[in-house]
Copies of this chain bind each other. A is one copy, B any other.
Amino acid sequence: MGLRERKKLDAWRTIRSTALRLISERGFDAVSADDIAAEAGVSRTTFFTYFPSKEAVVFDLDPSELQQWRALLEDPRDDLPLWDALTEVALGLARLLAERLPLQKRLFEQSPELCQSSRATCDSFEPDLKEWISRRSSDGDELRTALVFNTALAAFTTAIEAWDPDDSFDHFLEIIGDCLRWAGAGLASPAS
């Protein structure tokens, strides 16, 4: 890893942590891209070369996290049925996001618009995860694959919505498990 790459990663992390600090202090809307750039000792232009939008600085994955995410998907978990394996992936993702989730959740509560962008971030997982699902599922039905993906995402999102950031993280994992189990079992049938 050359000096260039190291500096880049440093810059990324400096901008990110500065942004999270400012935003958690003042709230998302009260911090401008200018503020973040200035506080991070970088130009506004540079900020936008590192992050495609102001929201991205809250939601984008650290390169090392991204690597973990890819690793998570590399194991096809052929030992488990599709939905169970998908549940494992969801739990793994949750653990990956663990550190920033409480802050993100608090920001959601402040401004509902942010929820939207968080879904955009989930969309950044979309291609990988869809490919994973379709590789795993026996039939090549695209509609079915898309439905499985969107439903799993809905279950995950529901868990995030329902979770209280002051609660323990284990409790969050339980909620995710519940949601996925219910969706897997079918919502037409009564809850077990």
Contacts and interface: CB of A to CB of B under 8 A. Distances in A.
Interface stretch (A25-33, A58-66, A156-164): A156-164
Nearest to A113: B120
- Among A117, A139, A184, A188, chain B packs the most CB atoms within 10 A around the CB of A188
A160 to B, nearest CB: 10
A154 interface: yes
Contact of A187 (B123, B142, B151, B158): B151
B116 A151 contact: no
Contact of A155 (B112, B150, B158): B150
A119 interface: yes
Contact of A139 (B81, B150, B183, B191): B191
Contacts of A187: 83, 147-148, 151-152, 183-184, 186
Given A153-B154, A162-B143, A191-B139, A183 B183 contact: yes
Given A184-B188, A185-B188, A187-B183, A155 B161 contact: no
Contact of A161 (B146, B179, B184, B191): B146
- Among A81, A153, A155, A158, chain B packs the most CB atoms within 10 A around the CB of A158
Contacts of A151: 151, 154-155, 158, 183, 187
A182 B116 contact: no
Given A146-B158, A185-B186, A186-B183, A191 B153 contact: no
24 contacts: A83-B188, A116-B116, A116-B119, A119-B119, A139-B191, A142-B162, A143-B178, A143-B179, A144-B182, A147-B154, A147-B158, A148-B187, A150-B158, A150-B161, A151-B154, A151-B158, A151-B183, A152-B187, A153-B154, A183-B183, A184-B186, A184-B187, A184-B188, A186-B188
